[in-house]
Amino acid sequence: MAGDPYDYIAALAVIGVVFVSAVLVIPSMNYVSLLQVDQQQLRNVAEQIFKTMLLEPGYPSDWGLADPFDQDSVDRIGLASENSTLYVLDSDKVQRLVTDNPIGYVEYDKTRELLGLEGYGFSLSIVPPFNATVENNQFEVTPSRIDLKLEVTVLYVDGGPVPNAAVESTIIYTTKKGENSAFYAIVERGSTDPLGVCIAEKHMNAPSGEQFSDIIVVFRVSVASVASMLAVYQRVPPNNIANINYAGDNIILTVPEITPRGARWVDNIIEFDWESFVSMYNGTRSNDDKLTYGEGYKVWSRTFRGLKHGVPSLLIMGFWAVEESEGRRCILIAGPNPNWFGSRVLQYGDPERAKGANCVVKLQRNVVISGMTYLAEMMVWKES
């Protein structure tokens, strides 16, 4: 009889130990499972968002075309082209994800709201599947002579060189004869060596009676005919002269907040797509082609029938403008931003915010925009 209470106490102690260890062990086992379930859920969410963004056109189906653009007019977001096959994106819609686009863009929080992503964060980038960098070995432009030697290096995303990549350099230059300017283009072709390097070299004298004014070089780089990269080497940062954009059939130029604030005139516009380039406009240097800070001249807009159908990748524009420390001359710039250095969306959403998250899902797909291949990469995380 005397042993009974001790038996009960011992039994109680053993049950207590079992209970406490179960309380400690089971949740920790479940925590791992829950974390994995959480990851799985996050992956499903990421796949769903990616599917919505890349395979659906959104509503209205031409929401990227609106001018002026109001993000509240977008009911459903999706970047796919209407009536196209899988993973072909509409460049007008993609442009609306370029933050600080002067003709309007969809803010990150609005996109999150449209995608129903409360509690989740995401970032999206649409970049070329390989990197091409242009290094200036020699780029001398005087009124009488041009000497240029540019080194194009083509690398895989992991940094390995891409040998045998086809590099087509289109050298566009303008000359001045009195107040008139003329436009010339030369196309040269080469390919990268085993180190992924291709050199574009050109030396020339100005045509008789003319003076060189400006030069711009557009590189088209393709690997095994996969059309994938456009890179531009230009002397003047494009945003010093004008912000170039297009929506549908309209080309829209706006004046950047930068000095000197002198008036500038649109001289020429050249449309670049993957296969060709076409001169599409010659300015008159009248008030119709003037762009300045004065009221009525802050925005220049023209409709070019069929521009949307042609889906240009790039626009090269000649301006009669003043650059700091130089007089008025014809200046060539490329746009829109960031197309001129090969990307479509550098970063939409802040990936830094993913650093505090328990788990992050990263997905990538190849997409086609204006006939060129890009890599769409998305990161999704759960916000705490």
Partner 1 sequence: MKRAKGKGKSGQMRIVEALLASFLILFAIAFVNLFALTPTSQTYEAGELEKIGFNVLHDLDEQRLLGRYVQFKEWANFTAALTVSLPTDVYFNLTVYDSSWRVVNTAPISYGTAQVFSSSFVASVTYIVPGYQANYSPKILVLQLVRG
**Residue ranges binding partner 1 (CB under 8 A):** 1, 3-4, 7-8, 11, 14-15, 18, 22, 25-26, 29-30, 32-33, 36-37, 39-40, 42-43, 85-88, 129-130, 156-158, 162, 164, 223-228, 361, 363-368, 371, 373
Identify which of residues 158 and 295 has a Cβ nearer to partner 1 in the complex: 158
Identify which of residues 39 and 254 has a Cβ nearer to partner 1 in the complex: 39
| Residue 168 structure tokens | 């087509």
Query: Greatest CA span in the chain, whole angstroms?
Result: 125
Least distance from C-beta 3 to partner 1, angstroms?
Answer: 7
Least distance from C-beta 4 to partner 1, angstroms?
Answer: 6
Identify which of residues 2 and 303 has a Cβ nearer to partner 1 in the complex: 2
Angstrom distance (rounded) from CA 100 to CA 343: 15
Identify which of residues 246 and 381 has a Cβ nearer to partner 1 in the complex: 381
Least distance from C-beta 111 to partner 1, angstroms?
Answer: 22
Phi/psi of residue 245, nearest 5 degrees = -150, 160
| Residue 58 structure tokens | 């959104």
Least distance from C-beta 35 to partner 1, angstroms?
Answer: 9
Least distance from C-beta 249 to partner 1, angstroms?
Answer: 24
What distances in angstroms separate CA 82 from CA 53, 130, 329, 342, one per listed residue? Answer: 13, 28, 42, 24
Give the 3-state secondary structure of residue 36. Answer: helix
With 0-12 CB in 10 A as exposed, 13-18 as middle and 19+ as buried, what is 16? Answer: exposed
Identify which of residues 74 and 223 has a Cβ nearer to partner 1 in the complex: 223
Least distance from C-beta 361 to partner 1, angstroms?
Answer: 7
Angle (CA) 227-311-253 rounded to 5° is: 120
Identify which of residues 7 and 118 has a Cβ nearer to partner 1 in the complex: 7
Identify which of residues 45 and 171 has a Cβ nearer to partner 1 in the complex: 45
Q: What SS3 string covers 92-154?
A: HHHHCCCCCCCCCCCCHHHHHHHCCCCCEEEEEEEECCEEEEEEEEEEEECCCEEEEEEEEEE
* DSSP-assigned letters across all residues of 205-216: EPPTT-EEEEEE
Least distance from C-beta 160 to partner 1, angstroms?
Answer: 8
Identify which of residues 165 and 244 has a Cβ nearer to partner 1 in the complex: 165
For the beta carbon of residue 211, count every other beta carbon within 10 angstroms: 16
Angstrom distance (rounded) from CA 134 to CA 291: 31
Distant-in-sequence, close-in-space partners of 165: CB < 8 Å, separation ≥ 6: 130, 154, 191, 192, 196, 198, 221, 222, 223
Identify which of residues 125 and 268 has a Cβ nearer to partner 1 in the complex: 125
Least distance from C-beta 170 to partner 1, angstroms?
Answer: 21
Angstrom distance (rounded) from CA 317 to CA 306: 18
Least distance from C-beta 271 to partner 1, angstroms?
Answer: 20
